Structure 1
Amino acid sequence: MPPDQHRDTPTRRRGAELEDAILRAAADELRESGYAGMTMDRVAHRAGTNKNAIYRRWPARAALGVAAYRHLIAGELQVPDTGTLRADALALLRAANATWSSPQGAVLRNLLAAAAEDPDLLTLLREQAGGNAMDAAWLTLLEHAVERGEAPQEAVHPRVASLPIMVLRGEYAVRGLPEVPDEVVVEIVDEVFLPLVRGRAVST
């Protein structure tokens, strides 16, 4: 069989092997063509399968796009435990900044831009694209600070935990930066996050 004909012939795979092939193909499409260019047909062709195999697992393009992004970033998030709140916060925010300025971050920014006109995609991004895990990481970071006596218990709050990432995301979204300078990351921690954490005991 000619090589190019063989590439167009779906390969018989099942279960996790097939799902991994589909997600890798979708991630490649997102990197190369963006969400707007990622179609079920193109993903199926790249994965060497058929559209029905994709639709059985991800009934909509938005679901596949978010799943592919999660596949890209799987295992990347780690909660730092340096011994101080400031160092932990800097490490976690710098890790987020490095991710968002990477090819994976470019995929996420493309998905967020597309979500402005796709409510289903926006909902899935909020629920599944690492936001909950990131918030949980910041809450864990704050809990460690409370245990060390660096922060009041009142600081362990979802709004406090989500603030550094929201400010960092704003730097990308509003200013259109390809990468946020490290001095800005330090300012977010020193001028916004830490004063908020320390002031919670007074304001509640």
Structure 2
Amino acid sequence: MAADSTSGTGAGRTRRRGAALEDAILRAAADELSESGYAGLTMDRVAARAGTNKNAIYRRWPGRLPLGIAAYRRLATAVRPPDTGELREDALELLRRANRHWGSPLGGILRELFAAAGGAAELVARLPDQSPDAAAAPWLTVLGRAVARGEASPEALHPRVATVAVVLLRNEFVVRGVPSAPDDVLVEIVDEVYLPLVRRRAPNAD
């Protein structure tokens, strides 16, 4: 089988295929995303940067959006859920992390990818922490600890309930188009919506 691409020149030129070529393409696409955002991501520029051709890219990713999502996955890093010992502080920290991320240059890329994906849930689910299970995981973790401490109702341990706060924050970005939500908005989401919701049947709720 012929190699997809080569690197180097002359006698030192090496053939790349399979995982090595895929890594070079993703690295080039991630660099392009970081420098130009999704709007500036093109197959031509990625191919040139990776030292390959567009056909090699299209054989792996059928279009610009799937490539952009795969490249974003290389840029994103996972973080552990907070554990302050108090549900309110854990929830605020999760929201503040999300707010900082979505307001950052990397978060700007994420918002561009969301907009490009539109209603394509299967594409959005490929983004780090954006599948329903991944998005709910840190919230279910902090909520589970709160249930064990008696701060929240066991009935609140449902993905839709657990993620209400971050969905409301996402609404600030998607619907209102804000570059970053003020901290008082985060406090309001937690104090006026999230905590009353998850504590409504807690044994020691006020």
* Residue segments in structure 2 that go unaligned for 5+ positions in a row: 1-7
Residue 56 (structure 2) aligns with: 53
> Take 1:125 and 1:16, find their aligned partners in 2: how far apart are those partners?
24
Range moving further from structure 2, 96-105 or 37-46: 37-46
Structure number with higher helix proportion: 1
- Structure 1 portions without partners, runs of 5+: 1-5
* Distance in 2 of aligned mates of 1:129 and 1:198: 29
Gap change, CA 1:200 and 1:157, over 3 Å in 2 = farther
**Cα offset, 1:170, TM superposition:** 1.0
Q: Take 1:83 and 1:201, find their aligned partners in 2: how far apart are those partners?
A: 17
Match of 2:110 among 104, 108, 112: 108
* 1:152–1:62 CA distance, 2 compared to 1 (3 A): same
Query: How many Å separate the matches in 2 of 1:11 and 1:179?
Result: 46
The AA in structure 2 aligned to 1:150 is E
Is 2:188 the counterpart of 1:172? Answer: no
What do you get for the CA RMSD once the two structures are aligned?
Answer: 2.5
Instruction: Determine whether 1:90 maps to 2:89.
Output: no
In the alignment, the residues of structure 1 paired with residue 100 and residue 187 of structure 2 have an alpha-carbon distance, to the nearest angstrom, of: 14
Q: Where do 1:1-204 residues align within 5 Å?
A: 12-14=15-17, 16-75=19-78, 77-116=79-118, 119-120=119-120, 122-132=121-131, 133-199=134-200
Q: How has the CA–CA distance of structure 1 residues 46 and 81 changed in structure 2, closer, same or farther, with 3 Å as cutoff?
A: same
Deviations 1:117-150 (A, max 9, x none): xx54x53113434213221111111111111111
One-letter amino acid of the structure 2 residue matched with residue 84 of structure 1 = E
Structure 1 residue 179 displacement after superposition: 1.1
Determine the C-alpha separation between the residues in 2 that align with 1:103 and 1:22: 21
The structure that has the greater radius of gyration is 2
Q: TM (normalized to structure 2)?
A: 0.81
| In structure 2, C-alpha distance between the alignment counterparts of 1:60 and 1:127, rounded to whole Å | 14
What is the CA–CA distance in structure 2 between the aligned matches of 1:16 and 1:78, rounded to whole Å? 29
* C-alpha separation in 2, matches of 1:63 and 1:13: 22
TM-score, length basis structure 1? 0.81
From the superposition, tell whether residues 50 and 146 of structure 1 become closer, same or farther in structure 2 (CA, over 3 Å): same
Percent identity at matched positions?
63
